[in-house]
């Protein structure tokens, strides 16, 4: 008897969670509906959920999203942008010898790099390890915009 009560309580809990996810997803989609029908729907073929098909819909949306990301133009753009950022020469130990950043620093500043400038900020970010996460976000945004308009 106790096991059955426990199973019923667990099933009720799962239904509540599923209902909350369904409500959240519907609100999420409704919030983006003002962007127009051509923005979200091409990447997610079934937009509105019921409790019975939530996993199938999430799986469909995820598959559509992965297919969209697997387009070569996205990966090529992402790789080029990340390559450009890494070639600049801001490394974890400072400016990389012989890099574009080293040449720029030598030509523009000589022995004096002003504190608080963009060059000093990029050097600091690279040495603190915060430049590459920022570069990753920038590369993803640029690649997404290029792939979306391609």
Q: pLDDT for 79-126, tens place per residue?
A: 999 998 888 888 888 888 888 888 888 888 887 888 888 888 988 988
* pTM flag (> 0.75): no
Domain range for 44 is: 2-66
Token pair listed for 44: 């997610």
Residues 37 and 106 in one domain: no
Q: How many independent structural domains does the chain possess?
A: 2
Residues 60 and 103 in one domain: no
Give the pLDDT confidence of 116-149 residue by residue, as tens digits: 888 889 889 889 988 888 899 999 899 888 887 8
Whether the Cβ atoms of residue 67 and residue 129 lie closer than 8 Å to each other:
no
Neighbours of 75 (CB within 10 A): 13
Residues 15 and 83 in one domain: no
Instruction: Indicate left, alpha or beta for 106 from its phi (over 0: left) and psi (-120 to 50: alpha).
Output: alpha
Whether the Cβ atoms of residue 22 and residue 54 lie closer than 8 Å to each other:
yes
Residues 85 and 144 in one domain: yes
Residues 127 and 105 in one domain: yes
Which residues are bridge partners to 94 per DSSP?
91
Q: Which helix (H) or strand (E) holds 130?
A: none
Residue 74 has pLDDT above 80, yes or no: yes
Residues 50 and 19 in one domain: yes
Residues 78 and 139 in one domain: yes
Residues 30 and 60 in one domain: yes
């Amino acid at each position: 008897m106790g096991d059955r009560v426990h199973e019923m309580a667990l099933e009720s809990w799962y239904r509540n969670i599923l209902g909350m996810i369904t409500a959240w997803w519907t609100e999420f989609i409704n919030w983006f509906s003002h962007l127009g029908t051509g923005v979200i729907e091409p990447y997610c073929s079934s937009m509105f959920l019921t409790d019975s098909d939530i996993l199938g819909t999430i799986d469909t949306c995820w598959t559509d999203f992965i297919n969209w990301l697997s387009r070569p133009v996205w990966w090529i753009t992402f790789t080029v942008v990340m390559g450009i950022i890494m070639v600049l020469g801001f490394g974890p130990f400072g400016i990389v010898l012989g890099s574009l950043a080293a040449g720029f620093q030598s030509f523009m500043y000589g022995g004096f790099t002003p504190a608080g400038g963009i060059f000093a900020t990029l050097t600091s970010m690279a040495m603190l390890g915060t430049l590459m996460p920022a570069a990753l976000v920038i590369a993803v945004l640029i690649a997404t915009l290029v792939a979306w308009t391609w």
